[in-house]
Structure 1
Amino acid sequence: MGQSRPPAVEEPVDPDIPPPARRAPAARGQLPVLCAVSAGGGLGAAARYGASLLWPTAAGTFPWTTLFVNVAGCAVIGVFLVLVTEAWSAHRLVRPFFGTGVLGGFTTFSTYAVDIQHLVDGDRAATGLAYLAATLLAALAAVWAAARLTRRAIAWRTR
């Protein structure tokens, strides 16, 4: 069967050397971050759901609402990250709350993948491929353009 381990040998304790400091479990220190991300995620998901109610997409058609939500969310994150890294000194929970939580809950790349699958399953592979490429390119362009314009606005404002 298995091998047994020899008993652990205890090191002698030197009374002149303090024991190593014990750290709080990492999870306890991350609780405020977890709460910020969770609260922001709920708000972002609610906003995304609201967008889908305002602009519903019929089954089998091009998912314009999801495309718009993802591109808009990417543009906002481009602005936000420039502001919190180059223009403001934000509280440590602002990025997890808004960047990860709100914008992570708002943008919906899981729905993007499901939309592509539905289009392909519905014999609309060309539309699915176009949607796949359009979302990727538009989202990247939105982040880049928004970050660039925000940097220009900051530079213009500080002249």
Structure 2
Amino acid sequence: MTGKTHIMAGITATTAIVAITDAYQPEWFIAAGAAGGLLPDICHSGSKIGRRFPAVSKVVNTLFGHRTFTHSLLFLALVAFILSKFISNPSITMGILAGMVTHFILDAATKQGIKLLYPAKITIRFPFAATTGGKAEGVVLLALTVVTLFYANSILAFF
């Protein structure tokens, strides 16, 4: 999936969570969800985040390759641990983690799949697969946008 779809998925998930819960600092939570939606692709130099941090991207890709460690539960746990030590705002921490989970789900819906259980070499993918940047991804992006607008409308109704 492309960066814009990953960003929108992070925004969609966190906006929905804000709408159905009593989220603390929703603006930070949603922004962090967008960032978390990009974070796993730090392993790809052509990704939005990889182009922003090329040296980090190159090191991570050289060590692990694409869609392995940074697309795993191990990486999710490591990020959660690091955030808990350095970020005192739980909205940011939980938003980033929620965005990362959406990234994993979207990339598991591609032909390449992900190594969710890394270091095990098992590839996780859904039985249906979309091509990155293809028509199916466009439909997913549109659906995410509609869902975001639906939940954002219900959030605004409370103000």
Q: TM-score by structure 1 length? A: 0.34
Q: Which is greater in Rg? A: 1
